[in-house]
Amino acid sequence: MRVFVSYRRGDASAWAGRLRDGLTARLDEDDVYQDVVTIDAGEDFALSINSALERCDVVLAVIGPQWLSIVGTDGDRRLDDPDDYVRIELGRALALNKRVIPVLVGGATMPAADRLPDDLTQLGLRQAFTLDDATWQRDVDDLVNRLLGPPRSRWLVPVALGAVVAAVAVVVVAWALTRDRPDGSVGVEEQDLYSSVQQPCATPGPPEWVDLAMGGSGAIGVTGQWEAWDVEVRSVRAREGPPAWDLIVDVEATNRGIDGTTFYSSFLILVIGGREVRPACWSVIGGGGVQPGTNETSEALVGFNALADDPRDGFALDIRTPSSAGRINVAPATNS
């Protein structure tokens, strides 16, 4: 699968970069075309774009708030310029009958066909896909799954999930419907942090799994306020299979605030080699479970699979909740 990312730099450059990072978590970097990354110094810009469009399977047209209206130095709308590079690449993609998906970011809406140049009117008829900043990783995962199908796990335990799904779904819905937000109101959007039940992790043991003797710890939030946590990585085990690696991280989260929900599959994001990787599995193995009370500790296994980068050099875990965020650097243990 080859993907061409089209965007306007003055409109959606940052979103396009984040999208590329999400795509390369599942695709080879060479299969994701983004001009500022892919085109080398001295290359012919037009030839490179045309070649990439001919070889690609899908074009993601990233449309931000100013995509339609942004103007050039002459004051005219850039999209009306036949030499505008965004118009050229999307017009070429449509002429080649490529699968073109409008990707809406930053609250943008789909441009009406009658607001588009003649060679782009078909774009206005294509079904769009929205990436929301509040649920970015989940939305990108959904988009990639639609392009590639769900990721295939090489090591998750084959278990019957019906009872688990039902039980956890009840907990998630009840939590999302009843919990208070910082402003005192009650809402359901927090359930987006935990959009699906992940499979439980295998119990990592020798000889297949190797202890990497790594660790790290950190804290997020303000103690005693909404969603504050002390987090410790107790151990990291890997299944070696260069060029790909599978990891299972044993992690503890101690509740130092007034909120008592730790959904590890959304709570922790592995960052390695400049890429973000979502958990493929998680299993609570001790402590206060998924809803520890104040000063209670929950312990879980969180798994990540098919990593292209060597984890022995170190990596990071991002902790993200609706109200707090932080990062733990995980590094090899040192002998003192």
Whether 157 is covered by a domain: the verdict is no
Q: What is the pLDDT of residue 178?
A: 37
Residue written as token pair 């978590």: 25
- Give residue 163's pLDDT: 40
What local confidence, expressed as pLDDT, does residue 214 receive? 95
213 in the Ramachandran plot: left (φ > 0), alpha (ψ -120 to 50) or beta?
left
Last residue of one domain, picked from the residues 113, 148, 183: 148
DSSP state of 190: G
Q: 210-267 pLDDT, tens per residue?
A: 999 999 999 988 888 778 899 999 999 998 776 678 899 999 999 998 877 787 877 8
Question: What's 59's domain CATH number?
Answer: 3.40.50.10140
DSSP letter for each residue of 147-173: HH-SPPPSS------HHHHHHHHHHHH
- Angstrom CA distances, 288 to 114, 233, 253, 295, stand at 57, 17, 10, 10
Do residues 308 and 244 touch, judged by C-beta distance below 8 A? yes
Q: Is residue 255 located within the same domain as residue 316?
A: yes
Q: Among 108, 129, 148, which residue terminates a domain?
A: 148
Nearest Cα to Cα of residue 94 among 34, 53, 33, 127: 53
Low-confidence ranges of the chain (pLDDT < 70): 36-45, 149-199, 242-243, 322-323, 335-336
Q: What is the pLDDT of residue 151?
A: 57
Per-residue pLDDT at 37: 52
Same domain, 213 and 128: no
- pLDDT the model gives residue 266: 72
Residue 158: inside a domain: no
Among residues 148, 174, 189, the one where a domain terminates is: 148
Between helix 9-24 and helix 136-148 the angle, nearest 10°, is 70
Query: What's the confidence (pLDDT) of residue 183?
Result: 39
Helical ranges in 70-182 per DSSP H: 85-95, 136-148, 162-178
CATH number of the domain encompassing residue 316: 2.60.40
- Domain identity same for 16 and 125: yes
- Tell whether 67 is covered by a domain: yes
Is residue 187 situated within a structural domain?
no
3-state secondary structure at position 65: coil
Both 24 and 118 in one domain: the answer is yes
Same domain, 217 and 319: yes
- Is the domain of 211 the same as that of 106? no
pLDDT (0 to 100) of residue 164: 42
- State whether 208 and 99 are in the same domain: no
Under 8 Å between Cβ of 106 and 64: yes
Assigned token pair, 68? 């339609």
144 and 249 inside one domain? no
Residue 269 lies in a domain: yes
**153 belongs to a structural domain:** no
Kindly provide the residue ranges of all beta strands, DSSP E only, lying in the chain, ordered along the sequence: 3-6, 32-33, 58-63, 99-104, 129-130, 210-211, 214-220, 229-241, 244-255, 268-272, 275-277, 281-287, 297-307, 315-320, 325-332
Are 131 and 8 contained in the same domain?
yes
Degrees to nearest 5, angle at CA 137 with 132 and 138: 80
pLDDT reported for residue 43: 55
What residues have CB less than 8 Å from 15, skipping those under 6 apart? Answer: 7, 62, 64, 105, 106, 131
Structural domain range at position 218: 198-332
209 with 88, same domain: the answer is: no
Whether 143 and 205 share a structural domain: no
Q: What is the pLDDT of residue 335?
A: 59
Evaluate whether residue 191 is within a structural domain: no
Rounded Cα–Cα distance for residues 246 and 306 (Å): 6
pLDDT value, residue 64 = 92
Residue 156: count other Cβ atoms within 10 Å of its Cβ. Answer: 17
**In a domain? residue 76:** yes
Residues 144 and 222 in one domain: no
Q: Could you tell me the CA-to-CA distances from 127 to 52, 65, 91, 265, 311 in Å, in that order?
A: 23, 18, 17, 29, 39
Query: What's the domain count of the chain?
Result: 2
